[in-house]
Chain A
Amino acid sequence: MTENNADALLRVNHLAKHFPIYRQGFLRKRVVNHVRAVDDISFHIRQGEVLGLVGESGCGKTTTGRLILRALDPTAGEVLFRDANLGQVDLAKLPRAEMRTVWQNIQLIFQDPYSSLNPRMTLEQIVSEPMQNYQKYAPAQRRDKVAEMLQLVGLRPEYMSRYPHAFSGGQRQRIGIARALALHPQLVICDEPVSALDVSVQAQILNLLQSLRAQLGLTYLFISHDLSVVRHLSNRVVVMYVGKIVEVASTEALFTDVQHPYTSALLASAPTPDPRAKRNSKPLAGEVADPANPPRGCYFHPRCPFAQERCKVEPPPLREVKPDHWASCHFSEKLALQH
């Protein structure tokens, strides 16, 4: 994307991750194909904003988060991050040793609050572990710091000596948030942070994330399959489909003036909690394309109600169809999309 992003904290350029598919040959395994989990995507995250990354399972949203963290090595592309200590660095090529420095500034909040906390560690150990790893604060100070973090996320500091099993899902997610924020990161990647929680607890965690962002001036990459959660929290939204970005816009523009048929279908499929608002469109037919064997042209064309001959042969580029509103569809301007 060539838009003005001088204030970007993170810039992703032509990022790709192709996983090889092996088949056992006569003597050795050979690569027969690739799963294009993330396929040439570009976007940026501005300082202090919440960027929502939304799509269905297998669209590459989690892989994107992991590529930014370098939990996976990218196949191609750049991940430019304005690190507080190192200055502008390309995370895609940074040596592992230097990545370690960056990791204190990029933290992750996981989906599953049950498997992401070590059951044999107390809350104090869990939250102070990152401080130890990075030699932050004098050991004597760490206890106070943990207490402060717990208070920040709405847990009583007295709980410090307890183990995770004593807490409910929502409380565990708070512990995970305290751990992620212990080093005051610049960027927090939230990967489906409320999907595993009960409905009544989701709102508490969403409100907490919202107030922490304002209070600490955090920047979030918010990955979710849930459009309503993304709308509630994000300033801008990136929509992915089969490893590619199909639409990028401000949250307001995306939900009121959708430009890509896939986003439109996604919005129309989401059930509305109001029996008077009956869904009027037919659901999208067919299934998500296989990222190992995507269709020619636009990946969405076999399911697209507006597909034409051109869509079957020519892949649409992501282009600015309205000011600051990007979509990868040949016919955005000609379609009157709604949901």
Chain B
Amino acid sequence: MNDNNVLLEVKNLRVSFALTEATVQAVDGVTFTIEAGKTLGIVGESGCGKSVTARAILGMVRPPGRITAGEILYHGKSGAPVDLAKLPPNSQEIRSVRWGDIAMIFQEPMTSLSPVHTIGNQMIEAIQLHKAVSKRDAEAISVDMMKRVGLPTPERLLSRYRHELSGGMRQRVMIAMALTCSPRLLIADEPTTALDVTTQAQILDLMRELQAEFQMAIMFITHNLGVIAEMADEVIVMYLGKEVEVADVDTIFHNASHPYTQALLRSIPRHDVVVEQLATIEGTVPDPTAIPSGCAFHPRCQHYQRGVCKVPSLIELSDNHYVRCARALDLKH
């Protein structure tokens, strides 16, 4: 990997939530890098820590959650990398990175937009917070961005409220807002999950187009393996706060080595392939306050071996293909 291309380095990140009954280790020592202009896909089921990881990068972990260890090194355009994990959540520094350099779009565009302000007011406010421009210029930037994301009649949309827009249009508005400051990294947390498939296809296409145009990296978080296959260059599969497999997208889908990844891929019904019966993963995702000892996946793993499956570390199976499984090497044969 060319070091000059590294945009964000997350090292051994830990985020925990101190609840009254127990402490939940939502993110448990995750390490990854995002390269400029590339798409990193993070896939996992509910409670795996994928959204908390994203929030940690932006300094948006809500109490009682907090970052307890690790570094989030952001390589800005100039100077030494900044450790975002060390910046106070409301400091001026993190605010300038958030939205300015790193922007985020969420699953529910309905709740990320204010119901009592017009679309225009919200966009103009966001722009003026980060750029020293007049209101008129901010409006012009908004109209321009809305055109770029394919919204019809942007001048008229400025005076509309969120409830007047469809789901797809709201997500386009969110993307337009996110891109107004030309971020170098866009964090997209399940951005198409609430949308219909034909709208999803439009939004995914749009994101790819804009990525090429703005040369930005995307961190794409989803539970949908189809969307990951379509969007990602590199993929991290997470389970209960840890990355269990990291590789390029082709390896993940055609040469998966972690039993969890393999089982996930076998368990999804497909519109392009017919199977008699789906393979299943036994049991359910455990309660995060009671994570199984040893390998956290062992109660559901069909390759579990007593005495062998102790706490596994992330091993490099082949070039840039990492697996957190104690039996990865002997299962390979």
Contact = CB atoms under 8 A, between A and B. Distances in A.
B60 to A, nearest CB: 24
Contact of A227 (B197, B201, B250): B197
A3 interface: no
Contact of A199 (B204, B254, B267): B267
Nearest to A56: B196
B226 A273 contact: yes
A313 B281 CA distance: 52
A273 B253 contact: yes
Given A255-B271, A287-B168, A204 B249 contact: no
A128 B239 CA distance: 37
B215 interface: no
A199 B44 CA distance: 9
Interface stretch (A36-44, A114-122, A277-285): A277-285
A234 B201 CA distance: 24
B278 A275 contact: no
Contacts of B269: 202-203, 206, 228-229, 231-233
Nearest to B169: A287
Contacts of B228: 273
Contact of B267 (A203, A229, A266): A203
Given A231-B274, A269-B200, A273-B268, A198 B225 contact: no
B263 interface: yes
B302 interface: no
B45 A269 contact: no
A229 B267 CA distance: 11
Interface string B175-219: 000000000000000000000111111101100000000000000
B228 to A, nearest CB: 8
Chain B interface size, as a band, is 35 or more
A227 B267 contact: no
Given A199-B268, A287-B166, A288-B196, A269 B201 contact: yes
19 contacts: A171-B284, A198-B284, A199-B223, A199-B268, A200-B263, A200-B267, A200-B280, A227-B271, A232-B270, A265-B198, A269-B201, A271-B200, A271-B226, A271-B227, A271-B229, A272-B226, A273-B253, A273-B265, A288-B166
Contacts of A268: 201
A200 B272 contact: no
B275 interface: yes
Contact of A279 (B166, B199, B230, B264): B230
Most chain B beta-carbon neighbours within 10 Å: one of A198, A228, A229: A198
A198 to B, nearest CB: 4
Interface in A198-229: 198-204, 206-207, 210, 225, 227-229
A283 B271 contact: no
Contact of B230 (A169, A271, A285): A271
Contacts of A287: 166, 168-169, 199
B224 interface: yes
Contacts of A283: 198, 201-202, 204-205
Interface of A: 56-57, 168-171, 198-204, 206-207, 210, 225, 227-229, 231-233, 255, 265-279, 282-285, 287-288
Nearest to A269: B201
Contact of A269 (B169, B197, B229): B197
Interface of B: 45-46, 166-169, 196-202, 204-205, 223-230, 232, 249-250, 253-254, 263-265, 267-272, 274-275, 277-281, 284-285, 300
B157 to A, nearest CB: 14
Given A200-B281, A287-B166, A266 B263 contact: no
A30 B166 CA distance: 26
Contact of B201 (A198, A199, A231, A279): A279
A316 B33 CA distance: 54
Given A274-B229, A276-B250, A232 B275 contact: yes
Contacts of A227: 197, 271
A273 B237 CA distance: 14
Contact of A270 (B202, B250, B271): B271
B270 to A, nearest CB: 5
A164 to B, nearest CB: 14
A233 B300 CA distance: 25
Contacts of A56: 196-199
Contacts of A210: 277
A306 to B, nearest CB: 16
A204 B169 CA distance: 35
Most chain A beta-carbon neighbours within 10 Å: one of B253, B272, B281: B272
Most chain B beta-carbon neighbours within 10 Å: one of A229, A255, A270: A270
Nearest to B282: A204
A188 to B, nearest CB: 19
A278 B249 CA distance: 12
A279 to B, nearest CB: 7
A203 B281 contact: yes
Given A201-B284, A231-B269, 11 more contacts: A56-B199, A199-B223, A200-B281, A203-B281, A229-B269, A272-B226, A273-B226, A273-B228, A275-B230, A277-B272, A288-B166
B262 to A, nearest CB: 12
The 4 closest A-B pairs by CB, nearest first: A271-B226, A283-B201, A232-B269, A269-B201
A168 B284 contact: yes
A287 to B, nearest CB: 6
A220 to B, nearest CB: 15
A275 B271 contact: no
Contact of A57 (B169, B196, B224, B280): B196
Nearest to A271: B226
A206 B204 CA distance: 28
B224 to A, nearest CB: 7
Most chain A beta-carbon neighbours within 10 Å: one of B225, B269, B270: B269
Contact of A267 (B225, B249, B253, B271): B271
Contact of B225 (A57, A170, A265, A273): A273
A303 B223 CA distance: 29
A228 B223 contact: no
Contacts of A275: 229-230, 232, 249-250, 253
